[in-house]
């Protein structure tokens, strides 16, 4: 059975990765666009996928149209497609925004086009890592039945897993993704800055931390978050927690306390009540009280 032709509107890091992967898995790529003409030309020359410089004309070339631009640009592209009046019945129009549901494309239904969203739960630092990381990632999918069916098939063909998030809870889903990815990076930066006082440069500190982080992630993958928790809080070691709080610079105190409170919740009833209360008191106290 022939696979539907795909058009990518906006070949940035995600759009480029999706285009290459979809083609690798047997989908015909009939058109791409980009925010800059030079980007579209370069990508087309590297992949032999036809480049278009007009989103309306490009969208007319496909069965599945993926809008992979930023959330800020998405309404602009949608307005172009609506004004161009080249969308048609039988087409599927999808966006890849994390925070928006498929309903953001509702205006396209006037042409008989099915609309939806297909957001990969993954981070994309560059095109190559995006391409490697997409396989095995979860895709949050919602929208019209035809759009959900097409997006689900595409996600599975790319090696992904399906995650059905109710449209009204899409913002909460995106917040979870932000915490797991963006805030993990910020947290590692905090640890890197603390450790850097014993290294000649920050990069050296980060390299020292990465095996610890990788080992922790392996433990989480194998055992889950609760069983993977280690350290002074799960041991009920209020003395060490107190020493940490006294040693930490003011700038990092809130991070330690907030995450410590979550670790205390995660520990459940594995800590004796007296130790739990002592740690809770330390984690909620002001710096001046330590």
Look up the CATH number of the domain holding residue 204: 1.10.1040
Measured distance CA(123)–CA(130) in Å, rounded: 7
Task: Please give the angle made by the CA atoms of 108, 24 and 33, to the nearest 5 degrees.
Answer: 40
Together in a domain, 66 and 203: no
Last residue of a domain, one of 110, 132, 165: 165
Final residue before a domain boundary, out of 165, 200, 226: 165
Place of tokens 């809008």: 67
DSSP, residue by residue, 92-139: EEEE--SSS-GGGGGGGGGGT-EEEEEEESS--SSHHHHHHHHTT-EE
- Residue 262 tokens read as 């979550």
d(CA 273, CA 281): 12
Q: Quote the pLDDT of residue 127.
A: 75
Per-residue pLDDT tens over the stretch 206-226? 999 999 999 999 999 999 999
Residue 242 sits in the same domain as residue 213: yes
pLDDT at 285: 78
Residue 195: predicted pLDDT:
95
Question: 3-state class of 18 per DSSP?
Answer: helix
- Average pLDDT of the chain, as a whole number: 94
pLDDT digits (tens, 9 = 90+) for 165-182: 999 999 999 999 999 999
- Any residues with CB less than 8 A from the CB of 224 and at least 6 apart, and which? none
Tokens of 122: 């993954």
284 & 147 share domain: no
Give the CATH number, domain containing residue 67.
3.40.50.720
191 and 229 housed in the same domain? yes
The confidence score (pLDDT) of residue 141 equals: 96
Residues 87 and 178 in one domain: no
Q: What pLDDT, in 10s, does the model give residues 27-40?
A: 999 999 999 999 99
Confidence of residue 276 (pLDDT cuts 50, 70, 90): very high
Domains in the chain, number: 2
Can you give the pLDDT at residue 131?
Answer: 77
The whole-number pLDDT of residue 287 equals 56
User: Residues near 243 by Cβ (< 8 Å), separated by ≥ 6?
Assistant: none
Contact (Cβ atoms closer than 8 angstroms) between residue 276 and residue 236: yes
Q: Looking at the domain assignment, is residue 1 inside a domain?
A: no
222 and 152 share one domain: no
Range(s) of the domain holding residue 109: 6-165
- The total of other beta-carbon atoms located within 10 Å of residue 285's CB is 13
Tokens of 277: 């209360």
Cβ atoms of residues 199 and 208 within 8 Å: yes
Query: Model's pTM, two decimal places?
Result: 0.89
Bridge partners, residue 137, by sequence? none
246 pLDDT above the threshold of 70: yes
The pLDDT assigned to 201 comes to: 86
Q: Summarize pLDDT for 77-113 with one digit per residue, the tens.
A: 999 999 999 999 999 999 999 999 999 999 999 999 9
Q: Give CA–CA dist 201/39, Å, rounded.
A: 35
How many whole angstroms separate alpha carbon 30 and alpha carbon 6? 6
pLDDT band at 128 (very low <50, low <70, confident <90, very high): confident
Helix, strand or coil, per DSSP, at residue 245? helix
Rg, C-alpha atoms of the chain: 24
pLDDT at 286 exceeding the cut of 90: no
- Residue-level pLDDT at 35: 92
pLDDT category of residue 124 using cuts at 50, 70 and 90: confident
| 73 and 51 within one domain | yes
């Amino acid at each position: 059975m022939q696979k539907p032709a795909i058009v990518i509107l906006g070949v940035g890091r995600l759009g480029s990765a999706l285009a290459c992967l979809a083609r690798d898995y047997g989908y015909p790529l009939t058109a791409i666009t980009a925010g800059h003409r030079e980007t579209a030309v370069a990508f087309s020359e590297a992949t032999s996928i036809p480049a278009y410089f007009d989103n309306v004309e490009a969208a007319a070339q496909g069965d599945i149209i993926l809008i992979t631009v930023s959330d800020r640009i998405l309404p602009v592209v949608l307005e172009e497609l609506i004004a161009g009046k080249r969308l048609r019945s039988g087409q599927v129009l999808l966006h890849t925004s994390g925070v928006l549901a498929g309903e953001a494309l509702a205006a396209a239904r006037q042409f008989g086009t099915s609309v939806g969203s297909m957001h990969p739960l993954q981070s994309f630092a560059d095109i190559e890592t995006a391409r490697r990381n997409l396989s095995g990632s979860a895709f949050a999918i919602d929208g019209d039945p035809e759009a959900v069916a097409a997006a689900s098939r595409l996600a599975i063909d790319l090696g992904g897993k399906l995650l059905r998030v109710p449209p009204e809870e899409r913002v909460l889903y995106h917040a979870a993704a932000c915490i797991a990815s963006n805030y993990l990076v910020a947290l590692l930066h905090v640890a890197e800055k603390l450790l850097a006082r014993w290294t000649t440069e920050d990069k050296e500190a980060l390299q020292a931390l990465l095996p610890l982080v990788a080992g922790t992630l392996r433990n989480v993958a194998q055992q889950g978050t609760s069983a993977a928790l280690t350290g002074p809080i799960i041991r009920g070691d209020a003395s060490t927690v107190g020493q940490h709080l006294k040693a930490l610079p003011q700038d990092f105190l809130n991070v330690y306390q907030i995450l410590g409170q979550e670790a205390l919740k995660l520990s459940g009833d594995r800590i004796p009540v007296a130790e739990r209360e002592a740690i809770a008191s330390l984690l909620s106290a002001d710096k001046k009280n330590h």
